[in-house]
Amino acid sequence: MRDRMTKDLTDIVHISSIALTRRTVLGGLSGGLAAMALPLASAAWATTAAHTIRVGDIAVNVISDGHLEVPVAFQLPRTSGSEVDALFKASGIDAPRQLTSPTNVTLVRTQNELVLIDAGAGSTFQATAGRLADNLEAAGIDRGAITKVVFTHGHADHLWGVIDDFDETERFPNASYVISSTEWDFWTHPDALSRMPEVLHGMARGTQRILKRIESRIERRNSGDTIAPGLTYLGTEGHTPGHMSILIDSHNEHLLIGGDALTHSIVSFARPDWPWGSDLDQDVAAGTRRRLLDQLADSRLPLIGFHLPWPGKGYVERNGTAYRFVSM
Ligand SMILES: [Zn+2]
């Protein structure tokens, strides 16, 4: 797997063959970055105005689905309280009991396609999430114009939002769907529930119900596949077995949509080896984080993380033997 992922990112980004300097990858971002002053349909989460980024010819919007509240004790089950306190204190903040986790959905506009990367949580997962439809409307984006919904993985906060629970209709009625083959097989396997801890059974049933509902229009793809012009699937497994990031590539400008490969702006970067509670395979996820951080720091490739501080964009710097996330 290590070789495959390293080869994927190297081949896809051509790190060895082009001068992927910070200027080349960030120029398009900073030049085109503009926070749009839009009215909010929901005032429950204060920072929901869409952000617009340009990557070559491709326009990228980040739209908030709200946020999640997750106990620290759940996410860091094998780390002592004193270690957690020390890490947060070193970053100048008191260690929280609850992690407030933004949910940053990405919308990618290419010449002929409008691609939504992840669909948010919908209305039944957590009361603080499920704002995507309102925030798309507030940004003047017609859900019917979205041509493709690409999933990074099958967790509720990324997938359940494709169905409107009020009337059981599809929220993106003209879209086709893309998921990784491994992810599809994992969630839809007849023995899926017996292969995962009981705490996940409710989520698995919800994801299975939705995947069955959209089965006739979902494509299953693999790492290295082009999923839309300028968009490539990149295997970043561990958080779930088939977790994918998406590399956007246009005119030598790049942006990685990292999904949940790097989920917390302090812990994932400063302590990538700490087991993370929502990772299904915590050892594989830690290995993926290490390799991804190494490659992102070397290339200065900018990143959007689904749960990183709104709107989730930044780059990776080395910090001793670990790393830090630099928001942009
Ligand atoms: Zn997530």
Q: Write the pLDDT tens digit of every residue in 267-280.
A: 999 999 999 999 99
List pLDDT tens digits, range 54-67: 999 999 999 999 99
> Range with the lowest mean pLDDT among 8-22, 30-44, 176-190, 276-290?
30-44
| Residue whose C-alpha is closest to residue 85's, from 263, 267, 264, 260 | 267
Determine the length of the chain. Answer: 328
DSSP assignment of 251-306 equals TTEEEEE-TTSS--TTHHHH-TTS--TT-SSHHHHHHHHHHHHHHHHHHT--EE-T
What is the pLDDT at residue 95?
83
**Which of 8-12, 47-51, 114-118, 195-199 shows the lowest per-residue confidence on average (mean pLDDT)?**
8-12
| Coil vs helix vs strand at 194 | helix
pLDDT in tens, 141-196: 999 999 999 999 999 999 999 999 888 899 999 999 999 999 999 999 999 999 88
Per the DSSP assignment, residues forming a β-bridge with 245 are 234
Find the 16 Cα to ligand 1 centroid distance in Å. Answer: 31
How close is the Cα of 23 to the center of ligand 1, in Å?
30
Q: In terms of Cα–Cα distance, which of 253, 270, 269 is closest to 261?
A: 269
Say yes or no to pLDDT of 52 above 80. Answer: yes
Instruction: Return mean pLDDT, the chain.
Output: 87
Give the separation between CA 324 and CA 322, rounded to whole angstroms.
Answer: 7
Ranges of beta strands (E only) in the chain are 34-35, 51-55, 58-71, 98-109, 114-117, 148-150, 163-164, 169-170, 176-180, 218-221, 226-228, 231-235, 244-250, 253-257, 303-304, 313-319, 322-327
Rounded Cα gap, residues 93 and 287, in angstroms: 27
The phi, psi pair for 257, rounded to 5°, reads -90, 105
Q: How far is the CA of 281 from the centre of ligand 1 (A)?
A: 15
CA of 157 to the centre of ligand 1 (A): 5
Distance CA 40, CA 51 (A): 13
CA–centroid distance, residue 70 to ligand 1 (Å): 11
**Residue carrying structure tokens 């999640």:** 68
- Identify the pLDDT of residue 50: 79
Instruction: Indicate the pTM of the whole model.
Output: 0.87
Task: State pLDDT tens for residues 202-221.
Answer: 999 999 999 999 999 999 99
Lowest-pLDDT range of 122-131, 137-146, 256-265, 292-301:
122-131
Residue 17 has pLDDT above 50, yes or no: no
Percent with pLDDT over 90 in the chain: 79
Helices (H), 189-254: 201-213
Confidence of residue 51 (pLDDT cuts 50, 70, 90): confident
> Is 50 exceeded by the pLDDT of residue 250?
yes
Distance 137 CA to ligand 1 centre (A): 22
Q: How far is the CA of 18 from the centre of ligand 1 (A)?
A: 32
Q: What is the pLDDT of residue 24?
A: 31
Instruction: Assess whether pLDDT exceeds 70 at residue 290.
Output: yes
Between 196 and 230, name the one with better pLDDT: 230
Confidence of residue 8 (pLDDT cuts 50, 70, 90): low
pLDDT at 9 over 60: no
Of all residues in the chain, what percent carry a pLDDT higher than 70?
85
CA distance 152 to 177: 11
Residue 163, helix vs strand vs coil:
strand
- pLDDT value of position 167: 86
Give the distance (Å) from ligand 1 centre to CA of residue 32: 27
Gap from CA of 326 to ligand 1 centroid (Å): 20
139-169 burial, b for 16+ CB within 10 Å, e for fewer? bebebeebbbbbbbbbbbbbbbbbbeeeeee
Tokens encoding 328: 């942009």
| Residue 153 CA, ligand 1 centroid: distance in Å | 8
Q: Per-residue pLDDT for 27 more than 60?
A: no
Q: Quote the ligand 1 centre to 239 CA distance (angstroms).
A: 9
Given a cut of 50, whether residue 37 has pLDDT beyond it is no
List the structure tokens of 303.
């990143």
Domains with residue ranges and CATH for the chain: 2-327 (3.60.15.10)
